[in-house]
């Protein structure tokens, strides 16, 4: 199995895990505030990272470095805006608006990571974005909750920015689990400060059932999905990995449909087909490009 194939497998597993998160979190947010949910999310990931380190006999480390603190700051803002928007919108709406993550990710990969895209990759990426927009076009009106939609856009922006910094830190051969541990520890501190100043920490009741939903959601979308993403970024370019993740709204809609039904139109169906074909072609293009680089390197070594 080539390194590119490994990257796509890790990325697919990450997408599958992250798709279930918003639905579970929404059930928890019915009985708990967004700030408390964000704190539970960060604490759950810290415990999971620590236990994973013990299980694999690779103890987690806390990286007290400038780039890691920047990473944690962006992640904290993303987590806060995510739970605030999930508290105001349905999981399906969150998945729909989350399509803008792909747009931000591609922009950051070009302007911050200085990644270069081939002409074919640009075409596939554009088609993938068009496919996502077609899929989410269900004739709904999100103007009924502009504030929630605005917060949802902000969470996609900061998560895309967070993953740019993840890509840069991964290149330094740091432990994926330790990066997640460091990130979550700092996020818990900052989110707790937010909970105190927003007045949500000591108000309301805490339901064990709600906590359970948030914990399971955090394990899927915050821990398992993130670990797989970190591993995928070791083998894939940032732009390719994140365009592939645009498939998550499709999965989220399928999972959430029994609880939050949506209207299916020809735009939805066409968009899903365009999205899947574009992702497939993009993956094949990246695989060929990686093989070409490997062959070129081997030729230079022989000469």
For 170-183, write each residue's pLDDT tens digit: 655 678 788 889 98
Which value, to the nearest 10 degrees, does the dihedral of the CA atoms of residues 165, 170, 176, 182 take?
Answer: -40
Greatest mean pLDDT among 95-99, 118-122, 165-169, 255-259 lies in 118-122
Q: Any idea where the domains of the chain sit in the sequence?
A: 3-117+142-260
Q: Would you mind telling me the total number of residues written for the chain in this entry? A: 303
The pLDDT score that the predictor gives to residue 261 is 67
Cα distance between residue 111 and residue 141, in whole Å: 33
* Higher pLDDT, residue 276 or 230: 230
The pLDDT score that the predictor gives to residue 299 is 33
Q: Which two tokens stand for residue 263?
A: 């209207």
Q: Which of the four pLDDT bands, split at 50, 70 and 90, describes residue 209?
A: very high
The pLDDT score that the predictor gives to residue 144 is 46
Distances (CA, A) of 31 to 19, 28, 89, 100, 179: 21, 6, 15, 28, 31
The pLDDT score that the predictor gives to residue 65 is 82
Least confident of 44-58, 85-99, 145-159, 242-256: 242-256
The pLDDT score that the predictor gives to residue 282 is 65
Q: State pLDDT tens for residues 40-54.
A: 999 999 999 999 999
Give the residue ranges of DSSP H helices in 98-145.
100-111, 119-136
Is the pLDDT score of 142 beyond 80?
Answer: no
The pLDDT score that the predictor gives to residue 130 is 82
């Amino acid at each position: 199995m080539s390194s590119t194939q490994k990257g796509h497998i890790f990325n697919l597993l990450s997408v599958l895990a992250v798709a279930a998160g918003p639905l579970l979190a929404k059930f928890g947010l019915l009985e708990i505030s967004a700030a408390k949910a964000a704190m539970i999310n960060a604490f759950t990931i810290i415990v999971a990272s620590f236990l994973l380190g013990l299980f694999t006999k690779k103890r987690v480390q806390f990286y007290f470095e400038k780039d890691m603190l920047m990473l944690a700051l962006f992640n904290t803002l993303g987590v806060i805006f995510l739970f605030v928007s999930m508290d105001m919108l349905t999981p399906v709406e969150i998945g729909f608006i989350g399509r803008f993550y792909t747009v931000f990710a591609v922009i950051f990969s070009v302007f911050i990571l200085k990644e270069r895209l081939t002409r074919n990759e640009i075409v596939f990426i554009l088609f993938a974005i068009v496919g996502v927009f077609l899929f989410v076009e269900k004739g709904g009106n999100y103007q009924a909750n502009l504030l929630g939609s605005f917060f949802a856009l902000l969470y996609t922006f900061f998560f895309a920015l967070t993953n740019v910094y993840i890509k840069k830190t991964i290149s330094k051969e740091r432990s994926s689990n330790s990066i997640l541990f460091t990130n979550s520890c700092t996020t818990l501190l900052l989110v707790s400060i937010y909970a105190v100043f927003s007045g949500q920490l000591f108000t309301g009741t805490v339901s064990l059932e709600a906590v359970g939903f948030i914990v399971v959601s955090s394990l899927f979308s915050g821990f398992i999905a993130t670990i797989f993403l970190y591993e995928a970024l070791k083998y894939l370019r940032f732009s390719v990995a994140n365009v592939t993740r645009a498939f998550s709204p499709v999965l989220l809609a399928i999972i959430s449909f029994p609880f939050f039904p949506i209207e299916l139109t020809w735009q939805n169906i066409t968009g899903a087909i365009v999205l899947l074909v574009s992702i497939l072609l993009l993956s094949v293009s990246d695989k060929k490009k990686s093989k070409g680089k490997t062959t070129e390197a081997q030729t230079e070594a022989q000469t």
